[in-house]
Amino acid sequence: MSTPQDYIDEHKDHFLEELFDLLRIPSISTDSTKKEDIKSAAGFLADQLKKMELDTVKVFETPGNPIVFAEHAPHEDQPTVLVYGHYDVQPPDPEELWDTPPFEPTIKDGLIYARGASDDKGQAFTHVKAVESLLKTKGELPVNVKFILEGEEEIGSPNLVPFIEEHKDMLACDMVLISDTAMFAEDQPSITYGLRGLAYMEMEVVGPNRDLHSGVYGGAVENPANVLCEIIAKLKDEDGVIQIPGFYDKVVPLTEADREAFAALPFDEEEYKETLDIKAVHGEKGYSTLERAAGRPTLDVNGLWGGYQGEGAKTVLPSKANAKVSMRLVPDQDPKEIAKLFKDYVLSIAPDTVTVKVTEHHGGYAAVTDLEFYGLKAGAKAFEEVYEKEVLFSREGGSIPIVADFKRVLGVESILMGFGLTSNAIHSPNENFSVKDFYRGIKTSARFFELLPDFAE
Amino acid sequence: MSTPQDYIDEHKDHFLEELFDLLRIPSISTDSTKKEDIKSAAGFLADQLKKMELDTVKVFETPGNPIVFAEHAPHEDQPTVLVYGHYDVQPPDPEELWDTPPFEPTIKDGLIYARGASDDKGQAFTHVKAVESLLKTKGELPVNVKFILEGEEEIGSPNLVPFIEEHKDMLACDMVLISDTAMFAEDQPSITYGLRGLAYMEMEVVGPNRDLHSGVYGGAVENPANVLCEIIAKLKDEDGVIQIPGFYDKVVPLTEADREAFAALPFDEEEYKETLDIKAVHGEKGYSTLERAAGRPTLDVNGLWGGYQGEGAKTVLPSKANAKVSMRLVPDQDPKEIAKLFKDYVLSIAPDTVTVKVTEHHGGYAAVTDLEFYGLKAGAKAFEEVYEKEVLFSREGGSIPIVADFKRVLGVESILMGFGLTSNAIHSPNENFSVKDFYRGIKTSARFFELLPDFAE
């Protein structure tokens, strides 16, 4: 009888074909016209899980996109792992910057190019294939496994938390396993033990009731696009310090240990600048690039629009101007509270010549996992066996708000076992995922399930 | 034999049908895909002029859009009027805000709704029909008339000035007649004797070589959209004073007489605010609304874009952000010099973490016409006869750079005999032109030509 690792090697091509089928579905959750594709992606994963004859596979409808749940619990005395992933993806735009079509997966130089290749279809799928490989070769799983695969991660998981709260017993587990992060470097297995939180806002500055001729009205009527810029300019000072009153009140300062951990990570700033083609790094004064990117809160304009964007010169004084602005948070900032502080500050600095509307998109708490947790140690061991290299434990700048929610509702830690790379261009044109890491991911996941009973003792 | 005024009344419906044919042509000069429509509009006007059996009608090709020229000079001892107009139009976007399609002219409540209805097809066409009416009823024109109708006004007339310089003799005249402005109020004939100049700029702020995930990079890499806002915020202070060094150096201050003239104009600020649905007016401290809109220079963002503009929340740190910014100028500011000052200032305040590119679109000088000029007086008399109301002489905030060019190259004053209204929504959705003013425009033009010999003596 072959081992799970052999089985994975023998089914490489087939696994890749299956992933490609999933990647071809444009399950874009920010686009309300893609509801059918969302349904297809959920159905595809449910079918995959059903083929394995698990105890339960069910697609739950929600007020938004469906949640796929599966359970296989053969053991009373072994830990239960809840695998979380998401099958929705970011929009592909600007689509003209893709070298190959975003929903026609293409392999080039060992990389799978497609929207969702890394974030998160490719990574989530590794665990599905790991469970299949264990069942096909061992006849049974070494631990209990549950799956929860959602379709609204890219829009802030509005229906996931209510779902978890409502199905606490069904989802009861000893840990959550998530692959939705990047490794620190190529061939460098890494476990993310910290994530930033998020507060994502949108604002609209409204002036006159129609676009005006800038010659006839310019100088006499306030220009909403100028005002929008003035408001945004007042959100940060030149040292990268956020100017919203109270913003830093609950920030847990980086400890000496934190800063030493950041400093110990391998990082080449020259290479970083070269890869991004920037002349200099920039951020909050007094902190290193890694600290700025993962250990400190920040504020970014994510989108900006108003007036004429076409070719040539249209002399218009726009009726309104808009921006999307998000803030990354650290422990113990409260996203709801930060959203309110943002709104209060923006309204307080807005001139009374215009009307400013501030709305809140999704948000989430920052999360840091205990480094002594046995699940984390089992994960590190599995990683080291497959990648043949010591694991790095790092904090990341991105947000997976659900990690804080799992902790709060189910009372468990999450293991962030990322198989991606920062060069995967997630949320960007030409998103990709290494074919090699797709296979190593499946193998690492399978080994993790096999090793976990030993660490649990 | 009927008079020209009778002829105009008798041919009302036909004149309107002909104007509609012209308005149906989407001759958008900012859109490079509309070259055929540009050609059609020029051809339409040339055909109109050819039907009248003038001495000369010719379509001149240029490196850009064609220029329609016509001449009819029966008199050696009478003044020559050069009629200037433009057959190109602004883009219709945002097209979804139009109540009727922009290129399907529609009459509603006495207004013709169509892109170009007022700016400038409808207004320019009044002179074509006036000449026709004189020829059909009198058999000859009372003065010499030339036409120059261009197709690049909305992109800054890049080929018109070289054309005028090259054809100085052919275009020789005693005055230029232009209808491309608005009356001060409904039924209130007005001659614009002052116009602002223009310097229209575009800037691009470039950061990393691709859109980044704002979670992974936010805080460590400069965000071009934030930088763009910071630059724009530094262009004006809170009192509406432009911060570009040297910007005001050549500004001729408003004299006591200028300010009295502005103050004498009928203007209801409450109604102005109500019409625009704004809570307060805003502009340079120390000046009235009319002074701000026409007598003082200003700076406006005309367009702004960067990052994600779609539905929902995309956590992107955009690779670049752009803005179109224009400045309205007054005598004696030099548009080329102002463009350079703008560029120098923007580059001087741009941080070295990004690359900023500043490019110049079109520009033009401000112009003020001598109030004692006999052509202006003949125009006022014609206006008063047709509208039965005394003419107001006003300065306007918009720009017709060609007025300064005609003065410089041909040495003549321009008479700005506008038949539009500020409510015509030029450059905006639902542009319109009053049917009544279309007819009164034709009549006023015809009377102007008839009266001119008396004033010239």
Which CATH class for the B197-251+297-364 domain? alpha beta
Q: What CATH number should be reported for the domain whose range is A197-251+297-363?
A: 3.30.70.360
Alpha-carbon gap: A456 to the closest alpha carbon of chain B (Å): 33
Best mutation target among B200, B315, B319, B396 (most A Cβ atoms within 10 Å) is B315
Contacts of A264 by beta carbon, 8 Å cutoff, 6+ apart? none
* pLDDT tens profile B265-304: 889 999 999 999 999 999 999 999 999 999 999 999 999 9
Q: Is residue B355 within 8 angstroms of chain A, CB to CB?
A: yes
Q: What are phi and psi of B267, to 5 degrees?
A: -155, 125
Share of chain B above pLDDT 70, in %: 100
Q: Is residue A359 within 8 angstroms of chain B, CB to CB?
A: no
Residue B360 carries which side chain, given as an amino acid letter? Answer: E
Q: Is the pLDDT of residue A177 over 80?
A: yes
* pLDDT tens profile B160-199: 999 999 999 999 999 999 999 889 889 999 998 889 999 9
Side-chain half-sphere exposure of B72, counting CA atoms within 13 A? 21
Side-chain half-sphere exposure of A54, counting CA atoms within 13 A? 24
Give the start-to-end residue ranges of the domains of chain B. Answer: 4-195+366-456, 197-251+297-364
Using DSSP, state whether B457 is helix, strand or coil. coil
Share of chain B above pLDDT 90, in %: 86
Per-residue confidence (pLDDT) for residue A1, from 0 to 100: 65
Tokens coding B275 = 């019409």
The residues facing B206 across adjacent strands are B320, B355
Side-chain half-sphere exposure of B89, counting CA atoms within 13 A? 32
Contacts of B137 by beta carbon, 8 Å cutoff, 6+ apart? B1, B2, B3, B4, B6, B7
In chain A, what residues touch B326 (CB-CB under 8 Å)?
214, 218, 313, 315
Give residue A136's Cα distance to chain centre.
31
Per-residue confidence (pLDDT) for residue A63, from 0 to 100: 96
Which CATH class for the B4-195+366-456 domain? alpha beta
Q: Is the pLDDT of residue B323 over 70?
A: yes
Contacts of A279 by beta carbon, 8 Å cutoff, 6+ apart? A273, B352, B353, B354, B355
Cβ contact, residue pair B282, A351, below 8 Å = yes
Using DSSP, state whether B283 is helix, strand or coil. coil
Per-residue confidence (pLDDT) for residue B1, from 0 to 100: 65
Side-chain half-sphere exposure of B237, counting CA atoms within 13 A? 6
Per-residue confidence (pLDDT) for residue A368, from 0 to 100: 83
Using DSSP, state whether A83 is helix, strand or coil. strand
Per-residue confidence (pLDDT) for residue B293, from 0 to 100: 95
The candidate with the shortest Cα–Cα distance to B160, out of B409, B414, B383, is: B409
Using DSSP, state whether A413 is helix, strand or coil. coil
Average pLDDT over residues B37-59: 97
Q: CA-based Rg of chain B, rounded to a whole angstrom?
A: 23
Percentages helix, strand, coil for chain A (3-state, rounded to 5) are 40, 25, 40
Dihedral of alpha carbons A7, A9, A10, A14, sign: positive
In chain B, what residues touch A402 (CB-CB under 8 Å)?
none
Peptide bond before residue A120 is cis, with ω within 30 degrees of 0: yes
* pLDDT tens profile B107-117: 999 999 999 99
A57 and A134 Cβ atoms separated by less than 8 Å: no
Average pLDDT over residues A41-61: 97
Share of chain A above pLDDT 90, in %: 86
A 413-432 near B (Cβ less than 8 A): 422, 425-430
Per-residue confidence (pLDDT) for residue A399, from 0 to 100: 80
Using DSSP, state whether B303 is helix, strand or coil. strand
Per-residue confidence (pLDDT) for residue B179, from 0 to 100: 96
Query: Would you tell me how many other CB atoms lie within 10 Å of the CB of residue A286?
Result: 11
B181 and B398 Cβ atoms separated by less than 8 Å: yes
Residue entry with tokens 């990079």: B217
A 179-198 near B (Cβ less than 8 A): 182, 196, 198
Q: Is the pLDDT of residue B306 over 70?
A: yes
Q: Is residue A317 within 8 angstroms of chain B, CB to CB?
A: yes
Which residue of chain A has the CA closest to B306? A304
Structure letter (DSSP) for residue A254: P
Average pLDDT over residues A216-240: 96
Cβ contact, residue pair B427, A219, below 8 Å = no
A 123-142 near B (Cβ less than 8 A): none
B402 and B195 Cβ atoms separated by less than 8 Å: no
Contacts of A157 by beta carbon, 8 Å cutoff, 6+ apart? A86, A150, A362, A401, A402, A405
Give residue B307's Cα distance to chain centre.
32
Alpha-carbon gap: A410 to the closest alpha carbon of chain B (Å): 25
The candidate with the shortest Cα–Cα distance to B105, out of B441, B442, B435, is: B435
Query: Would you tell me how many other CB atoms lie within 10 Å of the CB of residue B411?
Result: 11
Contacts of A211 by beta carbon, 8 Å cutoff, 6+ apart? A307, A316, A317, A318, A319, B94, B427, B428, B429
Residue B44 carries which side chain, given as an amino acid letter? Answer: F
Q: A328 to each of A20, A179, A396, B107, how far by Cα in Å? A: 33, 20, 11, 53
Q: Which of A219, A297, A429 sits opposite B328 (nearest CB)?
A: A219
d(CA B27, CA B105): 14
Per-residue confidence (pLDDT) for residue B402, from 0 to 100: 87
d(CA A405, CA A411): 9
The ipTM, to two decimals, is 0.76
d(CA B208, CA B215): 15
Average pLDDT, chain B: 95
Residue A430 carries which side chain, given as an amino acid letter? Answer: N
